[in-house]
Amino acid sequence: MDRTFVLIKPDGIQRGLAGEVISRLEAKGLKLVGARFFLATEAQVMEQYREHIGKPFFPHLKRYIMSGPVLAMVWEGKDAVPVVRRLVGATNPAEAAPGTIRGDLALDTGRNVIHASDSPASAAREAAIYFAEADLISYPRIDEPVLYEWVG
């Protein structure tokens, strides 16, 4: 099984959308293997968004991610990274397709509810910022035989 990293950002938490986001990922058939609710530290934000350091929007992004609680999660499933990226939708909610998390629940790029890793390498790197391997729990979902043709 593949894994990906997802972060519900402060606006998603403040708006009470964590349950909606989790429900959509679970309904797709993905399996939650780790979750942590907390206030992100500056060091964590700097590491997670290191490719954006130096860009004009980075100070605002850093301040925003640290402005309130976030929910970090690791999800598991076949092709988890591209599946979650499709469910999340385009970074700019105005360009996100209806039916996606951002397309349905967000209006502004700077307050777009959710972060999802863009590659398996990024997923592993980002998950390691917030979770030790021992914090992640793999287990069989009872419905895996109806989700995957190769189970059972």
- DSSP states of 25-70 as a string? HHHHT-EEEEEEEEPPPHHHHHHHTGGGTTSTTHHHHHHHHTSS-E
| Angle at CA of residue 104, ends 84 and 120, nearest 5° | 15
Q: Can you give the CATH number for the domain in which 96 is found?
A: 3.30.70.141
When pLDDT is cut at 50, 70 and 90, the band that residue 45 belongs to is: very high
Domain assignment present for 95: yes
- Residue 2 is predicted with a pLDDT of 97
What's the structural domain count of the chain?
1
Note down the domain range covering 8.
2-139
Domain assignment present for 123: yes
Tokens of 24: 């959509």
Domain assignment present for 146: no
Domain assignment present for 6: yes
Domain assignment present for 48: yes
- Residue 151 is predicted with a pLDDT of 55
Neighbours of 108 (CB within 10 A): 11
Domain assignment present for 19: yes
- Residue 109 is predicted with a pLDDT of 93
Q: Is 115 a catalytic residue?
A: yes
Domain assignment present for 131: yes
Domain assignment present for 145: no
β-partners of residue 7 are 72, 115
Q: Please tell me which residue in 17, 115, 126, 130 is annotated as part of the active site.
A: 115
Any idea of the CA torsion for 67, 15, 22, 92, to the nearest 10 degrees? -80
* 37, 7 contact by CB (below 8 A): no
pLDDT at 26 over 60: yes
Mean pLDDT of the chain: 96
Q: What is this structure's pTM? A: 0.95
**Tens-place pLDDT, residues 112-133:** 999 999 999 999 999 999 999 9
Span 33-37, average pLDDT: 98
The DSSP annotation for 74-134 comes to EEEETTHHHHHHHHH--SSGGGSPTTSHHHHH--BTTB-SEEE-SSHHHHHHHHHHH--GG
Phi-psi region of 125 (alpha: psi -120 to 50; beta: other; left: phi over 0): alpha
